[in-house]
Amino acid sequence: MKSLVVLLLLAASPAVAQVHEKDVESRLAALVGDWTIPGEERTYRETCNWYRNQSFIVCTSEDTSDNSMSQSILGYSKSENHFTYHNFGSTGSSNSRIGFPDGERGLIYTQERKTSKGIVRATTKVTPLPDGRVHFAEERSTNGGPWVTAADFYYVRRINVSTP
């Protein structure tokens, strides 16, 4: 009798469908983890986890060297056929970017925004590496000027450190 009840319950429960196609999910999955930046292990931590049904990645960062925090949400828009990135900082800052596949496993995000210096275009590459690190590189151009490196570093898996 118990097995009949279990069978009926299983039949009545909706199956959880995969939210994203395998390529989309694997590109996002590479970012899940507990991360830091070499040389900043004691002050910087970013933890990225799947949100319900592996629909988005939610990252929370904390930097005790300047008491900053931020929340990022990475995902994929089926209707617009591109990856998405939204960031909200503890200073009230926010930004959104659209992204596309880059290479075998990476993502490349673009952004254009108006600032006090003019129109800034940014290209950000996030590339998971075979050794487990994630390379983060960003270039920016202001008012159509030359592209300059704004960031170039590696995220590494965080080893249990007492702070933050």
Domains of the chain: 18-157 (2.40.128.20)
110: helix, coil or strand? strand
Residue 158's pLDDT is 93
Local structure of residue 76 (DSSP, 8 states): E
Q: From residue 42, give the alpha-carbon distance in Å to each of 36, 65, 70, 122, 158.
A: 9, 9, 17, 29, 10
Q: Does residue 138 contact residue 147 with C-beta atoms inside 8 Å?
A: no
Compute and round to an integer the Cα radius of gyration of the chain: 19
Give the pair of three-digit tokens for residue 79: 């209707």
pTM of the model: 0.83
Angle at 106 between CA 48 and CA 33, to 5 degrees: 20
Give the pair of three-digit tokens for residue 120: 């800034």
Distance of alpha carbon 110 from alpha carbon 139, whole angstroms = 10
> Per residue in 27-53, pLDDT tens?
999 999 999 999 999 999 999 999 998
> Per residue in 107-155, pLDDT tens?
999 999 999 999 999 999 999 999 999 999 999 999 999 999 999 999 9
Distance of alpha carbon 122 from alpha carbon 126, whole angstroms = 13
